[in-house]
Amino acid sequence: MLQTAAERQRALTGGAVGLAAIGLFVGLAAFSLLLAGGGSAVAGILLDPYILRVLRFTVLQALLSTALSIILAIPVARALARQPHFAGRIWIIRLMAVPMGLPVLIGALGLIGIWGRQGLLNALLMQLGLAEPVSIYGLTGILLAHVFFNLPLACRLMLAGLERVPSEYWLMASSLGMRPPSIFRFIEWPAIRPLIAGIAGLIFMLCATSFTLVLTLGGGPAATTIEVAIYQSLRFDFDPGRAIALSLLQIALTAMILGAMSLLPLAADEGLTTGKDIKRLDGVSARVTDALILLIAVLFLGLPLVSVIMAGLRADLLKLLREQIFWQSAGMSFAISLSAALLSIILSMAIIRARHAIASSRRRGVASKSFFTAMGSASAMILLVPPVVLATGWFMALRPFGDASRFAPLIVVLINMLMALPFVMRVLEPAYVVHQRRTQKLAASLGITGTARWRLIDWPALRKPLLTALSFAMALSLGDLGAVALFGSEGFVTLPWLVYSRMGSYRTNDADGLALILGMICLLLTIAGTAGQSKQGSESGGR
């Protein structure tokens, strides 16, 4: 064993403390919902027609959004896979990464700028003599927004599957003279099909727990999801019983989705190949069609982003920067995002070190394996109990102690920490495992332990992954509106809440300018997090 008994004990203790902290925070929120609601909440779920209508709409819009995202992503992924060498391909792929890292509220503003009543599309329709505008509010707008955010995700995952197809398949298809329908049936579809179930489950989960998009584009009671109904029940109606019933329903729904996703089969291996570069000859005949498909995709994804930039530049940015409320909200957002990101990294490192200690042990019993699995599952706890539900649980738990808004910054920091945890774990754990494999034998032979090991060995190697995780976690927290929605007030304002409040008071120019500033901050954080990765990738590609 390369770890000393003391090091192993400290690692396991840290992991146990981290797991207990996550379980306590989520468990107390869930327990307060059950305690406050009791049997009446369950009865409310079963008997209240409003709740059943909200449930039906939540499932319906998630199913439709998932189906549209996948169906539309298939031709885009095929076009990118067929045309691997055209000049703008890398920029289209980078464009598809933008919606995934964009604050949801900013994406909604961009879509309103294109598809809204005063947007570009309706202006063109009016010039053509069509007086009836296209409405972005209601189910149509929700589906449009979900496709905008989830189509790039589905496309990138499908493209990765298509690029793993062995080059021998394309040589064989060329020698046989296979036409595009046959290529799709016998080569592309078998590569995509195993991925669709997992992609659909992920997108369905994201759409079923969508809050900000539905809050912004829902358009009334007829287009309300469970999380928005929870917010409305507490923020406007102050009906804790209904909020509790909806929260329990949301937990049950996400639990069923996660259970179904855990049963999905893994994608099969493609088998051994000669490793030749992929050369697809079918791309020549489909060049015009692929160009048209990619042009439509670029316009669909790019125009809302251009709209955000143009609308933001039309606002009086200097006036906004001089307002005290801006600096108050910016300071609050920065403090929350930095605190949440640091706590997420600390908690992630504690869990990662404990999992590594168990994995490197020669003797692993049932208890150790269960502990290992529990720590891995804890990072995804936010999927089971979404932010709005957590906020509702803690709102109910803190009511006996007076005004719950006094605790708002702490609760929002902890919720944002849990939101960032899966992403931080995904960045840090592979880097930590590889680093330990490379250095732990040498460090053990030299007797370097404790702070000396961290200062001389661990920090130089893990600095970039840690900074990447920090920047991504901060960007995610900066753009969050869901955790703030229940607690937002004059004394507790973040940048997303300020943007949303300006939209609600019809100060759209101010909202556009603030959205541009918020988007630029998140973009700078994302760029900072990916700095140096392209260089590393080119170096690895040259080996």
Considering Cα of 31, then 35, then 39, then 44, what sign does the dihedral take? negative
**Distance, CA of 208 to CA of 229 (rounded, Å):** 13
**Distance, CA of 376 to CA of 72 (rounded, Å):** 33
Predicted confidence at residue 279, as pLDDT, reads 64
- Residue 405 placed within a domain: no
- Residue 144 placed within a domain: yes
Q: Which two tokens stand for residue 197?
A: 């179930």
- Residue 220 placed within a domain: yes
The single-letter code of the amino acid at 404 is A
**With contact defined as beta carbons under 8 Å apart, do 412 and 485 qualify?**
no
- Residue 237 placed within a domain: yes
The closest of 204, 225, 188, 92 to 150, measured between CA atoms, is 204
- Residue 513 placed within a domain: no
Q: What are phi and psi of 447, to 5 degrees?
A: 70, 30
Predicted confidence at residue 268, as pLDDT, reads 44
> For 138, left (φ over 0), alpha (ψ -120 to 50), or beta?
left
Q: Vertex 318, ends 317 and 320: CA angle to 5°?
A: 65
Neighbours of 523 (CB within 10 A): 14
> For 130, left (φ over 0), alpha (ψ -120 to 50), or beta?
beta
Predicted confidence at residue 539, as pLDDT, reads 37
Predicted confidence at residue 297, as pLDDT, reads 94
**With contact defined as beta carbons under 8 Å apart, do 271 and 165 qualify?**
no
**With contact defined as beta carbons under 8 Å apart, do 80 and 159 qualify?**
yes
The closest of 391, 385, 389 to 411, measured between CA atoms, is 391
Q: Which two tokens stand for residue 331?
A: 């300071």
User: Percent helix, strand, coil in the chain (nearest 5)?
Assistant: 80, 0, 20
What are the pLDDT digits (tens) for 483-542?
Answer: 788 776 777 889 999 998 888 787 888 989 999 999 888 888 877 765 544 444 333 333
- Residue 58 placed within a domain: yes
* H helices present in 189-278, as ranges: 189-208, 212-217, 226-235, 240-262
Neighbours of 449 (CB within 10 A): 14
CA distances from 96 to 52, 388, 405, 409 (A): 36, 27, 38, 33
CA atoms within 13 A on the CB side of 157: 21
Q: What does the DSSP assignment read for 122-171?
A: HHHHHHTT--SPPP-SSHHHHHHHHHHHHHHHHHHHHHHHHHTS-HHHHH
CA distances from 153 to 72, 90, 148, 161, 523 (A): 12, 16, 10, 13, 18
**Distance, CA of 136 to CA of 5 (rounded, Å):** 61
Which DSSP letter does residue 543 get? -
Predicted confidence at residue 306, as pLDDT, reads 92
Predicted confidence at residue 299, as pLDDT, reads 94
The residue ranges of the chain whose pLDDT is under 50 are 1, 266-276, 532-543
Q: How many domains does the chain have?
A: 1
For 323, the 3-state DSSP assignment is: coil
The closest of 270, 293, 273 to 83, measured between CA atoms, is 293
Which DSSP letter does residue 264 get? S
**With contact defined as beta carbons under 8 Å apart, do 526 and 98 qualify?**
no
Which DSSP letter does residue 400 get? G
CATH code for position 184: 1.10.3720.10
Q: Which two tokens stand for residue 464?
A: 């970039």
**Distance, CA of 530 to CA of 98 (rounded, Å):** 13
- Residue 259 placed within a domain: yes
Predicted confidence at residue 532, as pLDDT, reads 45
Those residues with Cβ within 8 angstroms of residue 338's Cβ, 6 or more apart along the chain or in another chain? 474
Predicted confidence at residue 183, as pLDDT, reads 85
**With contact defined as beta carbons under 8 Å apart, do 242 and 44 qualify?**
yes
pTM for this model (two decimals) = 0.82
Q: Which two tokens stand for residue 510?
A: 């101010």
Predicted confidence at residue 542, as pLDDT, reads 37
**Distance, CA of 233 to CA of 251 (rounded, Å):** 17
Q: Which residue has the tokens 């109606």?
A: 237
For 4, the 3-state DSSP assignment is: coil
Range of the structural domain that residue 66 is part of = 48-265+287-310
- Residue 63 placed within a domain: yes
